Amino acid sequence: MNEAVVLTPERILEATEDVLRRFGLTKATVVDVARALDVSHGSVYRHFPSKASLRDAVAKRWLDRANEPLCKIAAGDGPAPERLEQWLRTAFTIKQKKVCDDPEMFATYLALAQDAREVVEAYKDKQVDLIAKILSDGVAQGVFEIDNVKATARAVFDATVRYHHPAHAEEWAKPECPGRIDALLALLLKGLRVCKP
């Protein structure tokens, strides 16, 4: 039982990402994954009940990795407005970078996410919680004026959908984008801040 050759979910996920990268979503099969691991495809089914669940797990891994830097920003303790702006800009940049660096792989993950609705929903909820954290910090700091933090966090998330939802990915590279992001963030931050007369 050499630990290097034990078949673990982790190793299977690694191999699955590899296969996806090489073959693309439509061509990648469970048999390919098994071949990459040098086992029979039956063994894969010992760890994941179906191809769909394997795909979900890959999607979750991917989303969790992408989320890490955002968790750190939300957990920080600077002034909330700057932190919110940084959080949103980072969220945009992460996505934009992924689509620029490897559009093919991004398309693969996008298609993957289409079927992993539950996983994506959980991920979005986590994002909203992070925003809510920053907002409530801002309220505590006396810089934000917010009735319902949870609902407002959701509103901020919704308002920025255009720059983090992959359905709009093809617009992200356009030259007018940065200016539009600036205008959007300015509008949102003004809506959150306490009025200074």
- Return the number of other C-beta atoms located less than 10 Å from residue 134's C-beta: 28
Core vs surface per residue 11-38: b (16+ CB within 10 A) or e: bbbbbbbebbeeeebeebebebbbebbe
Nearest to 183 by CA among 195, 193, 191, 171: 191
> Min. distance of Cβ 117 from DNA in angstroms?
16
> Min. distance of Cβ 95 from DNA in angstroms?
27
Stretch that binds DNA, among 32-40, 83-91, 139-147, 179-187 (CB under 7 A): 32-40
**Token representation of residue 150:** 């949870």
Stretch that binds DNA, among 28-36, 96-104, 111-119, 184-192 (CB under 7 A): 28-36
The listed partner (a copy of itself, DNA, none) that binds 97, CB under 5 to 8 Å by sort, is: none
The listed partner (a copy of itself, DNA, none) that binds 180, CB under 5 to 8 Å by sort, is: a copy of itself
> Min. distance of Cβ 103 from a copy of itself in angstroms?
18
Structural contact between residues 160 and 88, judged by C-beta atoms closer than 8 angstroms: yes
